[in-house]
Structure 1
Amino acid sequence: MRILQIIDSLDIGGAEKMAVNYANALSNQVAFSGLVTTRKEGSLKEQINSNVPYLFLNRKKTIDFSAIFKLKKYCKSNDIQYVQAHSSSFFTAFLLKLILFKIKIIWHDHNGLSEFLNARKSLALKIASYFFEGIIVVNYQLKNWAERELNCKKVIYLANFTSISQNGLNETELFGKTEKRILCLANLRFQKNHFLLIDVAKKMKLSHPDWTFHLVGKDFNDDYSSKVKTAIAENVLQNHVFIYGSKNDTQNIIEQSEIAILTSQSEGLPVALLEYGLNRKPVVSTEVGEIPLIIINNENGFIVPKFDAEQFYGALIAMIENDELRVKLGNALYQTIQQNNSEEAVLNKFISWVKTK
């Protein structure tokens, strides 16, 4: 198999991380595994394995003929059979298909807005889907939507997977007291609902003021970001909630944290949850997307209804006040991730499925 991953940027995010994960993992499994970034490079470039061929197209506009012909030349010279296009990069793959028809497109849908699919703009996607050989989705809501709305009926659910980063970076030192830090790995987007985190932090400030919250993820410096920062200031939480932006040393950051959380109002299957589990961190999360397929309440973490600050706070307090519970839940989540979201298990399913195309 000769396969190429395509992603529009290498900024830190779930779809971007999975494109890198697939390129790296497949490099040890197939004849050729490469990665192409169409529009923008970013921090994740440093995580591409040295044995993964890499190309940056530097696409300047939606239809950039020089970029498309550069991609065509690359695919022909490397005898590419399959293009696995992640998220919005399906359009680049579609344009490539028009001038290199032998290429087989697999679209990988990572949409984190699975709770809001009715509002999804899909005309271009519907047209492009006539040319897809298959579609991979990261949750069953997306699977149902794709089977109903798109023109490719070969749809498979494959769980996300990840591995512990071995880049050895130790650039970030978290604020707050050691062993009293609560981590939220999530870009500053509205679906991640950092306002729930702030509501919980207000309660925590009164009951357990030594515990602090640490927000790591891309800051788009937009209206949502501004509102989050205003809420932190208005509630005098500057010494309790810290924002760091994107960071390359995720492993180092997780190791400095005691508890990990996700406060989202919508999700697919967040890679952050897998990273928490591989690091044996106890997790409190909202009940969205495919998270309930991973976390079983009171067995390997706590899962609460979205928007419910009272239950979220209660779950955190239960962990804070019981060291043994934290260890137990962290170890149990690690076992769950190893069994259901391991690289080996997902890749075996992926390769078997692709070979039928």
Structure 2
Amino acid sequence: MRILQLIDSLDAGGAERMAVNYANALSETIALSAMVVTRKEGVLKNELSDKVPYLFLQRKKTIDVQSIKALLQFVKKHQIEWIHAHGSSFFIASLLKILYPKIKLVWHDHNGNRVKIKMRENTLLAICSYLFNAVITVNRELQTWAEKNLHSKKIAYLPNFTRNNGKEEKATILQGNPEKRIVCLANLRHPKNHVTLIAAFHATKLAAEGWTLHLVGKDNFDDYSGKVKEIIRQYGLTDSVFILDSKSDVYHILSQASIGVLSSTYEGFPVTLLEYGLSKLAVVASNVGYCPEVITDSEDGFLFNPLNAEQLSGKLLVLAKNEALREKFGDSLYKSVGEKFSQQSVIATYLNLIN
């Protein structure tokens, strides 16, 4: 098979990581695995395998004739059979299919909040779905939504998977005590709920004991980012809470931490939790989206209400004070991720779906 992954950017987000993971994993399995990025490159470009043919379209507007022409030429040159469009890239993929009907199109929905979005905001998606040969969703709630609202005959849930692509430069060195670091791997944007996390960390008073909190994710320097930084200043945590922006050496960063936190108010399928698991971190995660399917509360991590800073601070305190529990959670999650969310099983199911 010859499959192309299509994504709008390569910033360090969940959908983007999955596009790279699929491209790299398939490059080891099928005749050709390619990647096309439509609007913006980013740190994840460095993680692409050398085996993956790559094109950046530099798309500037919704209907960009030059970008569509370049995509069509790339598809023909590499004899692509399937386009695997992630997230909002479904539109340019649909335009391509209209121009080149022999291509097959699978759309991958990563938006865990889609079920709460009014249908009129998904009108274009619903229309384009007549062109989809298959739809993949990252959780069963999204699968149910797609079966009700979209027009593809094949709709399936596939869990995300993670892999260490082995191309990290290991450049980032975290500040603080190596045994007392908490990390949150999430872009600085509203649903990631950093303010609650910072409030909870402040309430624990762990900073006075040498613990540090590291926020790793794209900083858009917008109102949300400004609010997060202001909260850090108000709590007097500028020497204990650090914003690192996007980084490509994720596993190197996680290897320097003891606790991983995900405080989102909603999630589709949290790739971050899989990365924490492979890094054997003790995890505290919000009980939203698919997080409870990855984390079994009190067995391989803690779950909490993302709107309850007091609950989160209590979980953080328990883990910070109990090294043996941290090791137990880390080992348990590592084993669970390997058994339930392995690359091999997901890719096998995926190829069976689109065959």
TM-score range, shorter chain: over 0.9
Q: Do the aligned residues in 2 keep the contact of 1:198 with 1:232 (CA within 8 Å)?
A: yes
Counterpart in 2 of 1:233?
A: 233
Q: Who is 1:326 aligned against?
A: 326
Report how far residue 135 of structure 1 moved.
Answer: 0.6
Unaligned runs of at least 5 residues, structure 1: none
Identity %: 48
Counterpart of 2:182 in structure 1 is 182
SS of the residue corresponding to residue 126 of structure 1 reads helix
Separation in structure 1 between the aligned mates of residue 22 and residue 214 of structure 2, nearest angstrom: 29
Partner of 2:68: 68
TM-score by length of 1: 0.96
**Secondary structure in 2 aligned to 1:283?**
strand
| TM-score, normalised relative to structure 2 | 0.97
Contact (CA 8 Å) 2:138, 2:159: kept in 1 or not? yes
Question: Which moved further from structure 2: 191-200 or 164-173?
Answer: 164-173
> Partners in 2 of 1:295 and 1:208 — Cα distance?
29
Distance 1:199 1:153, change over 3 A: farther
Instruction: Give the paired residue count.
Output: 355
Structure 2: how far apart are the matches of 1:127 and 1:115? 17
Deviation, structure 1 residue 319: 1.1
Local SS of the residue matching 1:299: coil
Instruction: Tell me how far 1:204 sits from its aligned partner.
Output: 2.1
Instruction: Evaluate the alpha carbon distance shift between residue 120 and residue 33 of structure 1 in structure 2; reply closer, same or farther with a 3 A threshold.
Output: farther
Write the distance in 1 (CA, Å) between the matches of 2:233 and 2:208: 19
Q: Is the 8 A contact 2:204 2:316 kept in 1?
A: no
Q: Distance in 2 between matches of 1:220 and 1:294?
A: 29
Q: How far off its partner does 1:168 sit?
A: 4.0
Q: Could you say if the C-alpha distance between residues 230 and 207 of structure 1 is closer, same or farther in structure 2, counting changes exceeding 3 Å?
A: closer
Which deviates further from its counterpart, 146-155 or 294-303?
A: 146-155
Query: Quick check: 1:132 aligned with 2:132?
Result: yes
The DSSP-based 3-state class of the residue aligned with 1:121 is helix
5 Å-filtered alignment, 1:140-155, equals 140-155=140-155
* TM superposition shift of 1:153: 4.0
Give the corresponding residue for 2:195: 195
- Show the counterpart of 1:289: 289
Supply the distance in 2 between the matched residues of 1:112 and 1:238 (Cα, whole angstroms). Answer: 32
Preserved CA contact (<8 Å) 2:115 2:142: no
Q: Equivalent residue for 1:306?
A: 306
Report the Cα distance in structure 1 between the residues aligned to 2:327 and 2:252, rounded to whole angstroms: 19
Distance 1:94 1:76 in 2: 16
> CA contact under 8 A between 2:259 and 2:282: conserved in structure 1?
yes
**Cα gap change, 1:116 to 1:226, in 2 (>3 Å):** farther
1:24-46 Cα shifts (integer Å, max 9, x gaps): 00011111110111111111111
Deviations for 1:107-158, whole angstroms, at most 9, x for unmatched residues? 0011143573347821111111110011101012211221122222421110
Q: Which SS does the other structure have where 2:133 is aligned?
A: strand
Q: Secondary structure at the match of 2:205?
A: helix
How far 1:80 moved relative to its partner? Answer: 1.2
The Cα of 1:22 is off from its aligned counterpart by 0.3
The question of whether the paired residues in 2 share the 8 Å contact of 1:117 and 1:145 is answered with: no
State the AA in 2 paired with 1:51.
K
**What's the offset of the Cα at 1:199?**
1.4
**2:49 aligns to what?**
49
Consecutive unaligned residues in structure 2, runs of 5 or more? none
Task: Find the counterpart in structure 2 of residue 275 from structure 1.
Answer: 275
Equivalence for 1:91 = 91
The alpha carbon displacement at 1:77 in A equals 2.0
Q: Deviations over 1:240-275 (max 9, x none)?
A: 211111111111110111100000100011111111
Runs (4+) of structure 1 exceeding 3 A deviation are 114-120, 206-209
Partner Cα separation in structure 1 for residue 289 and residue 68 of structure 2 = 34
Aligned-pair CA distance for 1:335: 0.7
- Given that 1:59 and 1:67 are in contact with CA atoms closer than 8 Å, whether structure 2 keeps it comes out as yes
Residue range with higher mean Cα deviation, 119-128 or 203-212 = 203-212
1:116 and 1:234 map into 2 onto residues whose CA distance is 33
Q: Distance in 1 between matches of 2:165 and 2:274?
A: 12
Which amino acid is 1:156 matched to?
Answer: A
Find out whether 1:34 has 2:34 as its counterpart: yes
2:109 maps to 109
Q: Please say if residues 115 and 266 of structure 1, whose CA atoms lie closer than 8 Å, have aligned partners that are also in contact.
A: no
Q: Which deviates more from structure 2 when the two are superposed, residues 141-150 or residues 26-35?
A: 141-150
